[in-house]
Amino acid sequence: MRRKLACVAVFAIAFGANPASANPFTDLAALPTFYTDATMKTMKPMAGFKKAWFALSKHDRAKMTKACDDPAMRKPHAQFCANVLALSGVN
């Protein structure tokens, strides 16, 4: 019985892990704070963006900075990543 339970736990962990979780842009819950509208088409001015940026945890800021360092990730989010890199000191 323990062996069966262990196998089920391993499968639950393996298949429950979301491979897209490494991409902070898939977590749209944090992103609206950077935009002025619900459709996330208009970004806040730098002062508002900066306030939203520093309201994030250091871990979340590091994840976004790492994602924006990747050219493939940066391309579809060019303006957002330009602000992120400027505020994180990477740029």
pLDDT at residue 82, as a whole number? 93
pTM over 0.75: no
Instruction: Please indicate, yes or no, if residue 18 is contained in any of the structural domains.
Output: no
Number of domains, the chain: 1
Letter for the amino acid at 25? F
Residue 46 lies in a domain: yes
Residue range(s) defining the domain that contains residue 38: 29-86
Dihedral sign from CA coordinates of 69, 47, 77, 22: positive
pLDDT exceeds cutoff 60 at 18: no
Look at residue 40 and tell me if it is in a domain: yes
Could you tell me if residue 44 is inside a domain?
yes
Per-residue confidence (pLDDT) for residue 38, from 0 to 100: 78
Residue 86: the pLDDT is 94
> With 70 as the cut, is the pLDDT of residue 23 above it?
yes
| pLDDT tens digits for range 24-69 | 777 656 677 888 887 778 889 999 999 999 998 899 899 889 999 9
